[in-house]
Amino acid sequence: MLFLHKHPMINQNIKIAVDAIVFGYHNGIVYVLAVQQKFGKLANHWVLPGGFIRDDEPLIQGVERELQEETGVTVSYLEQLKTFGDDVARDERFRVISVAYFALVNPKNFVLKADTDAKNAKWFAIKDVPKLGYEHNEMVQLAHARLKNKLTYQPIGFDLLDQEFLFSDLENLYCSILEQDIDRRNFRKKILSFGILEETGKVVKKGSSGRPGELFSFDKEKYDQLLKDNFQFEIKFA
Amino acid sequence: MLFLHKHPMINQNIKIAVDAIVFGYHNGIVYVLAVQQKFGKLANHWVLPGGFIRDDEPLIQGVERELQEETGVTVSYLEQLKTFGDDVARDERFRVISVAYFALVNPKNFVLKADTDAKNAKWFAIKDVPKLGYEHNEMVQLAHARLKNKLTYQPIGFDLLDQEFLFSDLENLYCSILEQDIDRRNFRKKILSFGILEETGKVVKKGSSGRPGELFSFDKEKYDQLLKDNFQFEIKFA
DNA sequence: TTATATTTGTGTAAATAATACGCAAATATA
DNA sequence: TATATTTGCGTATTATTTACACAAATATAA
């Protein structure tokens, strides 16, 4: 921090922004939330939701505010991903450094409400994400890698599912996000062995045929308790 | 990014800095590099090396520059850790947002050269890190957790050792950083099974007695090659 | 009504990996 | 020459992962 005091007048022309990579899941497909820019150099281009941080606003709060303003979406999981900002010439007026956040929404918040805020927002299947402005495609790629990776060592899959779900839902989520075949029986055994699922007792039939299945829910309290005893969530596959 | 275009005059009074948590290792003890602040409100206080980023400088380059200026230390591993900046009142003139970097030095660069740059720099044993300015203790804690964790799934331990090392060196490094007992024989078997070590053929005796041991070195090329075939480095202990 | 397709729930044997050890070889020192 | 110390290697036991089969509950078609 010597620089500060050697040169009391800091002449730094950098603005700081936050951007969010928000993932949703529906029917075996992972979606990313993007917004269409209205004005400026990138008008009509798709970009990630985000914007400049306010002076008195914590970073994470800034992300939530921008998400609300631009898309109306409320997320169920939010964590810092990485700070980008080496594209020195991104904006002609000043350099922009952007703190990217990784977020998940559950199905309840997946449908975009047709209010004014969400007019320019859209879910893109991860395979069909268009070329985005700034370094946003790079951010999506990194976030996607984080999603795949984190799914195997942290129970974040539940944030993409309904509060109550069938085992087949959970299994399909893992299969499609990890792009792998999973043995249904071993998967069930493994997850159940953790003891972090609650049986709701409810039984429901999903498709048009087949035996009805039991609904489960994620027992977060139990999970947090287990964490204290050095419990390690982990799903691996051959 | 709508905010930008709704309000073309962005009135943001935030400065962006970088800070480094640099770890060194010597004789079973983990050290952190700190510098003593000369001027300003925190004069004489210890802080992490770092400083304000320049307008045209990539973040990582800024870290390397500050490290060089303030400590003369060259790191062998450097990666972004997390961006801090929710302490809105850290500086009375402007808010500071700091991108923290996680770094490792090998023993060759562990000794601080007594040139002007390094006068105010010092290695603190991780257990004896004093109260640092700003959010720097929080940064150290997070970085320490990352070090422990990463050691188990990425071969970063070699960055803290000499280029050529005995198996007992590697084992002691793991024991002391993870604060765990490790079975010497199983550890050796496991590491060797990865096929990422090169036998130098050299034999050397470490202490004053005992059978001389063989020197090994980390074969980075082999490791990078294995990564392409979905190889996963992983060390776990009961 | 009966047969068929579909989905769920449970169990077990085989293969693989992790753990817990014992002992000989090579050196310094007493 | 005996003892302490450190290295190098091997094997039995235990735990975990993987592969795989069949019955139960439902909808639909014959």
pLDDT digits (tens, 9 = 90+) for B100-130: 999 999 999 999 887 777 779 999 999 999 9
Query: What percent of chain A lies above the pLDDT cut of 70?
Result: 96
Q: Is residue B155 classed as helix, strand or coil in its secondary structure?
A: coil
Q: Which residues of B touch A66 (CB under 8 A)?
A: 3
Q: Find, in chain B, the residue whose alpha carbon is nearest to that of A70.
A: B2
- Does A70 or A9 have the greater pLDDT score? A70
Q: Which residues 51-80 of B have a C-beta within 8 angstroms of A?
A: 51-60, 66, 69-70, 80
Is strand D within 7 Å of residue B201 (CB)? no
Bases along strand C below 7 A from a protein CB: 5-12, 18-22, 25-29
Q: Which residues 4-23 of B have a C-beta within 8 angstroms of A?
A: 4-6, 10, 12-17
Give me the pLDDT at residue A138, please. 98
The string of pLDDT tens digits covering residues A132-159 is: 999 999 999 999 999 999 999 999 999 9
Q: Examine the pLDDT at A3 and tell me if it is beyond 70.
A: no
Q: Is B116 on the interface with A (CB under 8 A)?
A: no
DSSP annotation string for A13-33: -EEEEEEEEEEEEETTEEEEE
Q: What's the Å distance between residue B167 CA and nucleotide C20 C1'?
A: 20
The string of pLDDT tens digits covering residues A15-41 is: 999 999 999 999 999 999 999 988 777
Minimum-distance CB partner of A52 among B3, B15, B17: B3
Is strand C within 7 Å of residue B183 (CB)? yes
Q: Examine the pLDDT at A5 and tell me if it is beyond 50.
A: no
Q: Taking a C-beta distance cutoff of 8 angstroms, is the pair B118, B86 a contact?
A: no
Give the up-direction half-sphere exposure of residue A122: CA atoms within 13 A in the CB hemisphere: 15
**Which domains are present in chain A?**
13-151 (3.90.79.10), 157-228 (1.10.10.10)
Q: What's the Å distance between residue B196 CA and nucleotide D26 C1'?
A: 54
Q: What is the mean pLDDT of residues B167-191?
A: 97
Q: What is the mean pLDDT of residues A41-47?
A: 86
Give me the pLDDT at residue A8, please. 52
Q: CA-to-CA distance for A220 and A225, rounded, in angstroms?
A: 8
